[in-house]
């Protein structure tokens, strides 16, 4: 068995790569690592899922693995990933488990694990869990009264909605929003949260049947949302993914406002309100150069992290910063949550509109997105590319040609023998020509 944990838990085709047997073992190993040392107190885990059909099966398997290890399970049902992270802390649980493959198609599923307080696991903890999975010794299991019990809290969704309500102070009265819930975990709570804050809400993609999650809807398919916003004459549209840790937006004219633009708007809002610690935003290496230029113009520093919200979280914690995120729409507010929260992002974005009286298009215009070309290059050994003399020379030549008007990034894929070549430039043709030239250099290695 190779390394299971990716940048966001364990993910794969449900009932093929991600089996019931594996889910039981992962849950048991997570319990052994995260629920140890409770000094006689019964350890507790929060378990939630998104609505995809295989989630029912995997929920049962994870619950079985945890209870077999002597852990009591609080089964909160279908809720967003950030809700499970929040409830892990709110219920003072020893760990939390979210069963979701986020924006992936319905046949996939995943297991995300949170430590006490709702924090994502670092590499060292994941390695300890994997070491137990690779071990041959069957762990000792309790019997009789030592077996874990399962309870279903009746206040889980209400607690999360109350938490969201405390994140904004300005009513959203007068704003009309179309929200695409991706037939996912946001289907119940996102419209409720936006209505509670005062907005008029038109919900689409909010009828999950277990099979339609992310199916031509949500943050990876924005066409339907763009059309609905224009048809309804709404002020904006918000799109979530299957587990609602992402949020992308659409302005009143149907133009897409991506995660970089959302971060620009929120960074300015938090700077003006005094919430932006050290006047710093954390973004990833994939964020557009236009974000960096806009923040520089606004006097805001940008700290760059690796791709993946766990790396954004690490930088946020390291500098005690107050805002970070990704181009994909994972936005993190450490004072309100331990992971990306799409519904919270939507609330804060609309609050900025309400406070300023500005349209989303006007707010997002602070940032000009530079043309960005991404080429995936198959290679035989992705680790050998970056230091190869021919590639180093090609990168240096491209950077010299771009000067301060663009940038180059070569990044090995985390899961495949690919190198991702990214070029940004003020002109799309220049970006494409340079990207193709660099891709040829990489392919020749």
Q: Following CA atoms 261, 264, 266, 270 in sequence, which dihedral angle do they give, to the nearest 10 degrees?
A: 180
Beta-ladder partners of 424: 372, 407
241 is in an annotated binding site: yes
Residue tagged active-site, from 102, 187, 219, 328: 102
235 is in an annotated binding site: no
Q: Following CA atoms 137, 143, 145, 146 in sequence, which dihedral angle do they give, to the nearest 10 degrees?
A: -10
Q: What's the number of CA atoms in the CB half-sphere (13 Å) around residue 360?
A: 29
* Alpha-carbon Rg for the chain in angstroms: 22
CA distances from 176 to 66, 219, 225, 252, 353 (A): 43, 19, 13, 10, 11
243 is in an annotated binding site: yes
Tokens of 160: 């999360």
Comparing C-alpha atoms, which of 263, 278, 244 is closest to residue 312?
263
Residues 6+ apart with CB under 8 A from 26: 4, 10, 62, 65, 111, 113, 129, 133
245 is in an annotated binding site: yes
Beta-ladder partners of 376: 420
- Strands of the sheet with 372-378, listed across from one edge: 372-378, 418-424, 407-412
Active-site annotation holds for 102: yes
**Binding-site annotation: residue ranges:** 102, 241, 243, 245
**Binding-site annotation: residue ranges for Mg(2+):** 102, 241, 243, 245
Residues labelled as active-site residues: 102
């Amino acid at each position: 068995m190779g390394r299971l944990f990716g940048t966001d838990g364990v993910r794969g085709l449900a009932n093929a790569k991600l089996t019931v047997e594996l889910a039981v073992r992962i849950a048991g190993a997570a319990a052994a690592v995260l629920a140890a040392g409770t000094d006689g107190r019964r350890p507790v885990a929060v378990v939630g899922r998104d609505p995809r059909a295989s989630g029912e099966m995997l929920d049962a398997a994870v619950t079985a693995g945890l209870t077999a290890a002597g852990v009591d399970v609080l089964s909160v049902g279908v809720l967003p990933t950030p809700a499970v992270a929040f409830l892990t802390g709110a219920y003072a649980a020893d760990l939390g488990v979210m069963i979701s493959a986020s924006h992936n198609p319905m046949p996939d599923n995943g297991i995300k694990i949170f430590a006490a307080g709702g924090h994502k696991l670092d590499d060292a903890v994941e390695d300890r869990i994997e070491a137990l999975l690779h071990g041959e010794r069957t762990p000792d299991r309790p019997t009789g009264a030592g077996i874990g019990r399962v309870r279903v809290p009746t206040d889980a969704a209400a607690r999360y909605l109350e938490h969201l309500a405390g994140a904004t102070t300005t009513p959203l009265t007068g704003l009309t929003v179309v929200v695409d819930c991706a037939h996912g975990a946001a289907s119940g709570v996102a419209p409720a949260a936006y209505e509670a804050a005062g907005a008029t809400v038109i919900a689409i993609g909010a009828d999950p049947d277990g099979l339609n999650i992310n199916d031509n809807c949500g943050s990876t398919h924005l066409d339907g949302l763009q059309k609905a916003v224009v048809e309804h004459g709404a002020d904006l549209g918000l799109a979530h993914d299957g587990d609602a840790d992402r949020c992308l937006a659409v302005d009143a004219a149907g133009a897409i406002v991506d995660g970089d633009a959302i971060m620009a708007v929120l960074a300015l809002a938090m700077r003006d309100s005094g919430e932006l610690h050290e006047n710093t935003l954390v973004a990833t290496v994939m964020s557009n150069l236009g974000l960096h230029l806009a923040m520089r113009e606004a006097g805001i520093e940008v700290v760059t992290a690796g791709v993946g919200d766990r790396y954004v979280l690490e930088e946020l914690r390291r500098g005690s910063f107050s805002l970070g995120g990704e181009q994909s729409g994972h936005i993190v507010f450490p004072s309100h949550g331990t992971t990306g929260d799409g519904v919270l992002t939507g609330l804060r974005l609309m609050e900025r509109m309400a406070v300023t009286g500005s349209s989303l298009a006007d707010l997002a215009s602070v940032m000009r997105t530079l043309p960005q070309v991404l080429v995936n290059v198959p290679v035989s050994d992705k680790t050998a590319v970056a230091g190869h003399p021919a590639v180093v020379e090609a990168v240096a030549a491209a950077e010299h040609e771009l000067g301060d008007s663009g940038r180059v990034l070569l990044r090995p894929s985390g899961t495949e023998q690919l190198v991702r070549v990214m070029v940004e430039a003020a002109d799309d043709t220049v970006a494409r020509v340079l990207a193709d030239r660099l891709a040829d250099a990489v392919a020749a290695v």
